[in-house]
Amino acid sequence: MNGVSLLLRLPAGIQRALFELALRTAGLGRLPHLGMLVRYFRLLGADEGEFLRTVSRIRSWSAWPERWRETAGQALEEARAQEAAGHPVTARDRYRQAALYFALANWRTWDARERARTYEQLLAAYGGFARLVDPPARSVDIPFAPAPLPGYLRLPRGPGPHPVVVVVQGMDTVKEVCPVLVEQPLLERGLATLTVDQPGTGEAQLRGVLFVGPEMLAGAARAIADFVASCPELDAARLGIIGFSWGGFVAPYMAAAEPRVRAGAILSALWEFPEPERAVRTPFYGPSLRLMTGIEEPTELVALLRRVRLEPVAARIRCPLCIVHGEQDAIVPVEFARRLYDAVSGPRLLHIIPGADHAASLHLTHLALLGDWLADHLRAEKDTRTHRSTACPGRFPPAGTRPRPAYRAGDGRTPRARRSPARPGR
């Protein structure tokens, strides 16, 4: 058990006191757990020096939102100045970083009005990026009740209709943080991306679309598939989905509920919500869970989280599914990935990364496996179905086949992809 796991097992009041003490005496920039946070946001496109300078000025959790809004505002001003000066590439990157910093501000903002104001600034910053990036990101609304699901559609180069991958993200992240780490690798493989705020997250949360139970994800999956079918640029017969962290529950649940999903990929598989009673009490997850669900009463919130389980639906996942999980994930136990792997009915691949933490932030070479799997099974790459990599030597099994298990359940060995015959005609 690592330090983060031990900390989260302490009573909420002690957790708050320890962090406030560390912030007052050392500053956030010197806390051991900051390393993972820095890695993630650097990978998402933050400037590492800017990140560290900002957190060095944070001496209490209450100061977190304001310091990040200041940094975000400065980046947004610079982006607008660079665009006016005729420097679109620099402006594009600063708009993206400003949006990322506004998202960081909202990570610890619990006042509903303040969250809404900050998100409006985030949308303004991301709008500049969406306009200047190639390919551009088109804002879309997916019909749903009680309000449309917001998303961004990006199309790869070349003529359509294109295969498309729906991107769903974590509990504390938003669709605007996905272009570098998630969307770009998929676009380079010939896949369109439809990145959405699923119920309870990001802009959907602000619109009043809260997570009221896993069953609502079936309706969301149907709405997304219907939307894809309505877009002439997209090939509805080649629809995939990818999710990470909380999205490691949402994506497989949607794949189980919607037969039009033809391939899936998961980073950190959430078989069930781990220790909901403890999560509700922690100062890190509790407020986010209450915002995501709209439930304040702890007992009622725990009851909802106990329904967050893939076991009732996993056998209905018949599309090819790739699961990547960090061996040292302190947030989502690695055993969850093995359970999902054993339960699904379609072709599947499990890759456990030795030594990797939550969402494998230090092991990006292995994440190519997810993009290659989707490109392979959605037939996006015409000449190279998959890329050979150290993460997974050999080709993936052809669609419609089920490889033998890549590990024996419970043996603890790192599974490896099985070499399978080449496709007919190759």
Alpha-carbon Rg for the chain, nearest whole angstrom, is 21
| Domain-embedded: residue 3 | yes
CATH number assigned to the domain comprising residue 222: 3.40.50.1820
Q: Is 235 left (phi over 0), alpha (psi -120 to 50) or beta?
A: beta
Q: Are residues 68 and 200 in the same domain?
A: no
Which tokens sit at 352?
A: 């456990």
* Entry field: residues in the chain: 426
Among 133, 155, 190, which residue terminates a domain?
A: 133
Per the domain annotation, does 176 fall within a domain?
A: yes
Report how far apart, in Å, the C-alpha atoms of 361 and of each of 39, 285, 329, 365 are.
6, 20, 10, 10
| Together in a domain, 266 and 244 | yes
| Predicted pLDDT of residue 44 | 81
The pTM for the full model equals 0.83
- Highest mean pLDDT among 54-68, 136-150, 321-335 belongs to 136-150
Given a cut of 80, is residue 398 above it in pLDDT?
Answer: no
Q: What's the CATH number where 31 sits?
A: 1.20.1440.110
Q: Is 36 or 343 the better-scoring residue by pLDDT? A: 343
In a domain, 293, yes or no: no
Task: Tell me the pLDDT band of 356, cut-offs 50, 70 and 90.
Answer: confident
The three-state secondary structure class of 85 is coil
Q: Residues 220, 236: one domain?
A: yes
With a pLDDT cut of 70, the percent of the chain lying above it is: 78
Distance CA 139, CA 195 (A): 10
| Four-CA torsion 122, 128, 133, 138, nearest 10 degrees | 80
pLDDT at 265 over 50: yes
Percent of the chain topping pLDDT 90: 60
Last residue of a domain, one of 78, 108, 133: 133
Q: Is residue 148 domain-shared with residue 227, that is, in the same domain?
A: yes
For residues 381 and 408, membership in a common domain is answered with yes
- Together in a domain, 25 and 127: yes
What confidence score (pLDDT) does residue 360 get? 59
pLDDT at 392: 31
pLDDT band at 224 (very low <50, low <70, confident <90, very high): very high
For residues 303 and 280, the answer to whether their CB atoms sit within 8 Å is no
In the predicted model, what is the mean pLDDT of residues 393-415?
34
* Per-residue model confidence (pLDDT) at position 132: 97
> Binning pLDDT at 50, 70 and 90, where does residue 282 land?
confident
Query: Looking at the structure, do residues 126 and 146 belong to the same domain, yes or no?
Result: no
Q: Which domain holds residue 126?
A: 1-133
Say whether both 108 and 154 belong to one domain.
no
Whether residues 418 and 323 fall in one domain: yes
Q: How confident is the model at residue 51 (pLDDT cuts 50, 70, 90)?
A: confident
Average pLDDT over residues 216-245: 97
301 is a domain residue = no
For 113-149, give one letter per residue: b (16+ CB within 10 A) or e. eebeebbebbbebbebbbebbeeebeebebebeeebb
For the cut 90, the answer to whether the pLDDT of residue 108 exceeds it is: no
Asked, for residue 292, whether it belongs to a domain, the answer is no
The reply to whether omega before 161 is within 30° of 0 (cis) is yes
For the cut 60, the answer to whether the pLDDT of residue 404 exceeds it is: no
Residue with the bigger pLDDT between 360 and 369: it is: 369
Q: State phi, psi for 64 to the nearest 5 degrees.
A: -55, -55
Residues 295, 300, 302, 305, Cα dihedral to 10°: -70
CA nearest to 422, candidates 400, 404, 398: 398
Residue 399 has pLDDT above 60, yes or no: no
In the predicted structure, residue 396 carries a pLDDT above the cut 70: no
Q: Give the residue, 143 or 19, on which the prediction is more confident.
A: 143
On whether both 249 and 344 belong to a single domain, the answer is: yes
pLDDT at position 401 is: 35
Note whether 359 and 328 are within 8 A (CB): no
Q: Which of 95, 111, 133 is the last residue of a domain?
A: 133
Residue 12 within a domain: yes
Please give the residue that has the higher pLDDT: either 112 or 419. 112
In a domain, 126, yes or no: yes
> Is the pLDDT assigned to residue 346 strictly greater than 80?
yes
Tell me what pLDDT residue 192 has: 97
Reported as a pLDDT band with limits 50, 70 and 90, residue 172 is: confident
Count of domains observed in the chain: 2
Residues 100 and 155 in one domain: no
What is the 8-class DSSP label of residue 183?
I
What pLDDT was estimated at residue 180?
A: 87
pLDDT attached to residue 285: 82
In a domain, 287, yes or no: no
Would you give the DSSP letter of residue 86? Answer: T
pLDDT band at 171 (very low <50, low <70, confident <90, very high): confident
DSSP 3-state assignment of 263? strand
298 by Cβ neighbours in 10 Å (0-12 / 13-18 / 19+) ranks as middle
Task: Read off the amino acid at residue 205.
Answer: Q
Distance CA 158, CA 145 (A): 34
Question: Region 126-142: what's the mean pLDDT?
Answer: 97
Over residues 72-104, the pLDDT tens digits come to 999 999 999 999 999 999 999 999 999 999 999
C-alpha angle 156-161-166 in degrees, rounded to nearest 5: 65
| 321's tokens | 């599914």
315 and 404 share one domain: yes
Higher pLDDT, 199 or 61: 199
Task: Return the higher-pLDDT residue of 349 and 382.
Answer: 349
Q: What is the pLDDT of residue 335?
A: 94
